[in-house]
Amino acid sequence: MIPPLVRLSTVLVAVLSVSAAGAQDGAIVSSQSRFHPVIAQTGMVSSQEALATTVGVDILRAGGNAVDAAVAVGFALAVTLPRAGNIGGGGFMIVHDADAHETMAIDYRETAPAAATEDMFLNDAGDADPVKSRFSGLGVGVPGTVRGLALAHERFGSGNLSWADLIAPAITLARDGFPVSQDLSSSLSSNWVRLHLARDQEAYGIFYGPSDGTPEPGFIMTRPDLADTLEAIALDGPDAFYEGPIAKAIVDKVNATGGRMSLADLAGYEAKLRAPVLGSYQGYTVASMPPPSSGGIHLIQILNILDGLPIAEHGLNSARTIHLMSEAMSRAYADRSAHLGDPDFVDVPDRWLISEDYADEVRAGIDPDRATPSSEIRPGTPPAPTESPETTHYSVVDADGNAVSNTYTLNFSYGVGLVADGTGILLNNELDDFSAKPGVPNAYGLIGGDANAVAGNKRPLSSMTPTIVFKDDKVFLVTGSPGGSRIITTVLQIIVNVIDHGLNVASATAAPRIHDQWLPDEIRIERGISPDTIEKLEEMGHTVALKDAMGSTQSILVTPDGTLQGAADPRRAGALAAGY
């Protein structure tokens, strides 16, 4: 058994000791760290929560590989980052096995219960009812995280560490407690989160009861029910989650709050190995997530369009660069609305969407000087026949060149706001990612159609985009992000910032971001874009909306000599890249 958390690196101690008054963001230790990556020679982990990062580094030091560390981080985040880290949700993982020269995708997306129906999120008038899909048991998908992490360990783990070894640090954190971070305290102090969790006595008692209110930074939070659940999973494997008392507790809670889940739904859940979607950009190979995530297809589609445009020449975040990126983004999101869904239920025209010919066609329709109104953009027509925001991402690279890019989620912050009684498991509301009704946007404003309609045992469409970029067949960049509909464009900009604009991985992470998802008809931007640039974009016909920061990328870049450069996104307090 590995003694958990036996090493707290200097940088971790520095992060945890920064006072809220002394720093604008807990992830930034100094004014320089925002633009300079963390350097390591042997292994590196970058995640949204510092304790979980340290768990991953400890696993690497103890002889585990990147997949072992990723599994351990996944379980640790379920304890220390409860709004997104989870065992009650699902996600996607890209794994590169250096010895086998193999890159695979693991799909552990939640599924709809067998009893789900196409009209279950509609009211009596036939209109979409967001309360049903977002705040009731109907919105809960069959969780996939435990099966997904188990598949990763079984298929790609080092063999040096047992399943129980990898869960042990999370059990210790849950049983003995951990200091509440500024980020966790701030999250729980949000009026929206308090109201969200107050609907469920079990959830409210876990997060507010022990501290008689919002826990202050430094308060030692324990999760005894979750510790018991994790111990059962460590002892008996994933079946302890999908069968028996834990499964019954999940089903009982879902159905008591309006859902339609059965024990058979849980017992029958399977994580799936899939081939990644592959593309090329400026001499690099990009491996990302295939459907039922839309992330990989549309990331590569946008890169294909940009590959023939002079964005490097125009410069980082210039008006012309933003204009061209916006035009490419909006067309990809229009295609997403019509063509993407669970490939086990619909024919996704993936080869056409990521083809150079289609990219040439789309690129030819872009005016370099004027914005195209969304009303004039329509999804493309494939040839026939055809073959959060609350999520979290982490990246891992080990000494042997193995790499993991993993994104998982509960959908909303703290999911549906329900905890399965006696288990400590926060449940997801991922079924809101289905199209409740064609043409009606989901919580992230994304439009969907029949391809993403609700059906029993079907996986809802996602935007999660865990990605590994290769140069000369070796891992070059591992990245991904949370952010709901904005995940695809966030990951895109990390890649473009590094490859086209020559930024180091930390500067690429810190650079202001933009987003265009076709509808609404606007370019969303972060603060930091020049007012002159905004004015030029508006002169080109764009509507520009200044909004909150987007994403929380966790990235690792591998230099030609094998040095690891890590960057945790400063947009989320408490994120940490660390290595050795």
pLDDT value at position 29? 30
Rounded Cα distance, 87 and 85, in Å: 7
pLDDT value at position 321? 98
Residue 14: CA count within 13 A, CB half-sphere = 13
Amino acid letter for position 453: A
Q: What are phi and psi of 2, to 5 degrees?
A: -85, 125
Does 423 participate in catalysis according to the annotation?
A: no
Which ranges constitute the DSSP H helices of 403-530?
Answer: 487-499, 505-510
pLDDT digits (tens, 9 = 90+) for 155-208: 999 999 999 999 999 999 999 999 999 999 999 999 999 999 999 999 999 999
How far, rounded to the nearest angstrom, does the alpha carbon of residue 26 sit from its chain's CA centroid? 21
Q: Strand 44-47: give its sheet, edge to edge.
A: 272-274, 102-108, 90-97, 403-411, 390-397, 44-47, 576-579
pLDDT value at position 477? 98
Longest pairwise C-alpha distance within the chain: 63
Distances (CA, A) of 541 to 156, 445, 518: 50, 22, 14
Indicate the annotated binding residues: 109, 409-411, 433, 462-463, 484
Q: Choosing from 111, 391, 465, 489, which is the catalytic residue?
A: 391
Rounded Cα distance, 327 and 445, in Å: 18
- Return the SS3 of 419: strand
Class of residue 283 by CB neighbours under 10 A (exposed 0-12, middle 13-18, buried 19+): exposed
Q: 10 Å Cβ neighbour count for 417?
A: 23
Rounded Cα distance, 53 and 72, in Å: 9
Can you list the residues of the chain whose pLDDT is less than 50? 1-32, 385-388
Question: Of 475, 469, 498, 494, which is closest to residue 483 (Cα–Cα)?
Answer: 494
Residue found under tokens 């040839």: 383
Q: Give the chain's mean pLDDT.
A: 92
Q: What are phi and psi of 78, to 5 degrees?
A: -60, -25
pLDDT value at position 384? 54
CA angle 210, 214, 215 (to 5 degrees): 60
Q: What are phi and psi of 99, to 5 degrees?
A: -65, -40
Ordered DSSP codes for 328-370: HHHHHHHHHHHH-S-TTTS---HHHHT-HHHHHHHHHT--SSS
CATH number of 276-389+465-579: 3.60.20.40
pLDDT digits (tens, 9 = 90+) for 515-558: 999 999 999 999 999 999 999 999 999 999 999 999 999 999 99
Question: Of 230, 228, 252, which is closest to residue 145 (Cα–Cα)?
Answer: 230
Rounded Cα distance, 566 and 56, in Å: 14
pLDDT digits (tens, 9 = 90+) for 215-230: 999 999 999 999 999 9
pLDDT value at position 3? 37
Class of residue 504 by CB neighbours under 10 A (exposed 0-12, middle 13-18, buried 19+): middle
Q: For the chain, where do the domains classified as CATH 3.60.20.40 start and end? A: 276-389+465-579
Indicate the annotated binding residues for L-glutamate: 109, 409-411, 433, 462-463, 484
Rounded Cα distance, 281 and 307, in Å: 6
pLDDT digits (tens, 9 = 90+) for 443-493: 767 777 788 999 999 999 999 999 999 999 999 999 999 998 999 999 999
